[in-house]
Amino acid sequence: MIHDQARYTREDDALHEPLLSEKGEQTVDVRDSSPLPDDLTREELTLPNPSEPEVARHYTRLSQMNWAIDTGPYPLGSCTMKYNPKFTEDVAADPNAAVHPDRSDRSVQGTLELCYGLQEFLADIGGMDAVTLQPPAGAAGELTGILIAKAYHEHHGNDRSEVVIPASAHGTNFATAAMAGYDVVELPSDENGRVDVEALDAAVGEDTAALMLTNPNTVGLFERDIAEIADIVHDAGGLLYYDGANLNALLGRARPGDMGFDVMHYNVHKTFATPHGGGGPGAGPVGVVEELAEFLPTPHVREINDGNVGYEAVEPERSIGKVHGFTGNWLVLIKAYAYIARLGDAGLADAAAKAVLNANYLAERIDMDVPHGPFHHEFAATAGDRDAADVAKRMLDFGVHPPTTKWPAMVPEAMLTEPTEIENRSSLEDLATAFNVAYADSDEVLADAPSRTTARRIDQASAARTPRLSWQALDDE
Ligand SMILES: *Cc1c(COP(=O)(O)O)cnc(C)c1O
């Protein structure tokens, strides 16, 4: 009954009779209750004391000033902003899920069973032999995977200093390789937007620790030469790393492990509908083939094989150590488990098919040039001689979120668009209209856009670098 104990009651209110100031603000006397030295404490803390309707209206209004997948399409390419079914919140909010992570394995068998089950689901979906749930984001999964590859090479006495990455890759790939201490070798794309196999052959050698690859790549193109690519890397003694951000295009239809990948991460917030972290907890599990399993982070959940049914958290033999606390962000992982279990094999394969269908449908419906194709789950249209960011700002006026702009660089003035499987035909038509009207608008209209949103065009650089996050910021406007 953890729920009931935590609930704030009317009796609690009576115990802490508020001291109301004239303005209706609550003043709390904090002087005597603090164990801190005087120079570190304040004399008085004034907090707003709004009524429940005021609080409800305040937060509802704030939520409407921003964009959300719950209010409209959000085709932000590469990010996969898809709807998170609300039942997964109920599952994660079950009081039984709220176990302290430091309890003994024997007392949390249900938790470990669920971790083990998710490891098995993910291994099966990716064609991997073992999975760790510990990394707290896709980027953290990348670093974990590349550190595992590094430990593997070191254990086998291979002194390798380079990681090869296609120019079209996500920025986190380059950062990961550098953070793991590798030199980055950037690979150009061929004229079809895919890995240039000849250039790869020339770039790979005895210094190559790994090739990091996203498939389908960041403009939604499947790397058709993946078998040859895998041979080139493996023949040189390197490992093949799969960036799983686009795995939603392949679910239930193709598996990285079968393509020759040795290690991969899963962005559960892109593929399995857990929330995007947004600074909060996320998860980026990592899968590996058998040869790499002994290097996985600790603790790792496994089945006890002594005739009894049970689970335990152990340290793999040559573990790279910890990359996060305990077995990872457990409440996020429950949501991934619930989503996979609810959809099942057929549902996951259906999600992938619809994601691909929607991307290709929308690419056909917009007036901009869309190079390459046919696509998997996303495509990069080009705004040509218009500014992609201006077109995107104008799209906001039509009640849709715009796509990712000006990335990847291989498509000039790119508008990287991923409608996801959740949009129906009428919503895709709304998106196409927003694209087409914005693209055709005059320079003056674009320069002034957005004109119908709560906030007009903001200074994005200073909003990111010097954000004002308190409620007072609104009064200052
Ligand atoms: C989102 C993304 C990442 C990083 O994942 P996070 O979970 O956001 O850290 C890596 N590669 C690609 C292609 C991505 O789209």
User: In this model, does residue 448 exceed pLDDT 60?
Assistant: yes
Confidence of residue 17 (pLDDT cuts 50, 70, 90): very low
Please tell me the pTM assigned to this model.
0.88
State both tokens at 106.
């024997």
Residue 78 Cβ inside 6 Å of ligand 1? The answer reads yes
Q: How confident is the model at residue 64 (pLDDT cuts 50, 70, 90)?
A: confident
Q: Given this model, what pLDDT does residue 469 score?
A: 76
Which pair of structure tokens corresponds to residue 417? 């668009």
Residue type, 477: E
Question: Residue 31: which pLDDT band, with cuts at 50, 70 and 90?
Answer: low
Using the atom order of ligand 1, give the atom closest to the CA of residue 284. Answer: 7
Ligand 1 atom with least separation from CA of 282: 7
- What pLDDT, on a 0 to 100 scale, did the predictor assign at position 79? 93
Query: Which residues lie below 8 Å from residue 116, measured CB to CB, with a gap of 6+?
Result: 301, 302, 303, 311
pLDDT at 11 over 50: no
- Contact of 215 with 311, CB cutoff 8 Å: no
Cα–ligand 1 centroid distance for 414 (angstroms): 18
Q: Identity (one letter) of the amino acid at 160?
A: R
User: Is any atom of ligand 1 closer than 6 Å to the C-beta of 378?
Assistant: no
Of 122, 145, 118, nearest in space to 330 by CA:
118
Task: Tell whether the torsion through CA atoms of 393, 394, 396 and 401 is positive or negative.
Answer: negative
Read off the pLDDT of residues 35-59 as tens digits, 9 standing for 90 and up.
788 888 878 888 888 999 999 999 9
Preceding amide of 374 cis, omega within 30: yes
- b or e along 334-367 (b: 16 or more beta carbons within 10 Å of the residue's beta carbon)? bbbbbbbeebeeeebeebbebbbebbbbbbeebe
pLDDT tens by residue, 185-210: 999 999 999 999 999 999 999 999 99
Q: Is residue 32 predicted with pLDDT exceeding 70? A: no
User: Taking 50 as the threshold, does the pLDDT of residue 362 lie above it?
Assistant: yes
Task: Using the atom order of ligand 1, give the atom closest to the CA of residue 214.
Answer: 13
**What was the pLDDT predicted at 283?**
96
pLDDT higher than 70, residue 8:
no
Ligand 1 pocket, residue 267 CB under 6 Å:
yes
Instruction: Report pLDDT for 70.
Output: 87
Give the model's pLDDT for residue 9.
Answer: 40
- Specify the residue for token string 């093949």: 240
Q: Could you tell me if the CB of 80 is within 6 A of ligand 1?
A: no
Residue 287 has pLDDT above 60, yes or no: yes
Please give the Cα distance from 294 to 319 (Å, whole number): 6
Cα(242) to ligand 1 centroid in Å equals 12
171 residue type, one letter? G
For 395-432, the pLDDT digits (tens) are 999 999 999 999 999 999 999 999 999 999 999 999 99
pLDDT for res 463: 84
- To test ligand 1's pocket by mutation, which of 168, 221, 267, 417 has the most ligand atoms within 8 angstroms of CB? 267
pLDDT at 455: 84
- Domains, the chain, with CATH or none: 12-65 (no CATH), 87-341 (3.40.640.10), 344-461 (3.90.1150.10)
Can you read off the two tokens belonging to residue 345?
């094999």
Alpha-carbon Rg for the chain in angstroms: 25
pLDDT at 460 over 90: no
CA of 264 to the centre of ligand 1 (A): 12
User: Which ligand 1 atom is nearest residue 169's CA?
Assistant: 13
Question: DSSP code of 363?
Answer: H
Paired tokens of 429: 């038509």
DSSP 276: P
What pLDDT score does 6 carry?
A: 35
How many angstroms does the Cα of residue 267 sit away from the middle of ligand 1?
A: 7
Region 244-272 average pLDDT: 97
Nearest Cα neighbor of 289 from 120, 128, 126, 125 is 128
The pLDDT score that the predictor gives to residue 13 is 43
Task: Please give the average per-residue pLDDT across 302-323, as a whole number.
Answer: 93
More confident residue, 16 or 73: 73
Kindly report the average pLDDT of the chain as a whole number: 91
Query: Distance from the CA of 283 to the center of ligand 1, in angstroms?
Result: 11
Coil, strand or helix at 16: coil
Q: How far is residue 265's CA from residue 367's CA, in Å, rounded to a whole number?
A: 35
- Whether residue 261 contacts residue 230, with contact meaning beta carbons closer than 8 Å, is answered with yes
Q: How confident is the model at residue 245 (pLDDT cuts 50, 70, 90)?
A: very high
pLDDT value of residue 23: 53
Q: Which residues have CB under 8 Å from 250's CB, separation 6+?
A: 215, 216, 256, 352, 376
pLDDT at 5: 32
Q: Are 182 and 163 in contact (CB under 8 A)?
A: yes
Judged against a pLDDT cut of 60, whether residue 156 lies above it is answered with yes
d(CA 271, CA 61): 30
Check residue 278 and give left, alpha or beta (phi > 0: left; psi -120 to 50: alpha). left
C-beta of 245 in contact with ligand 1 (< 6 A): yes
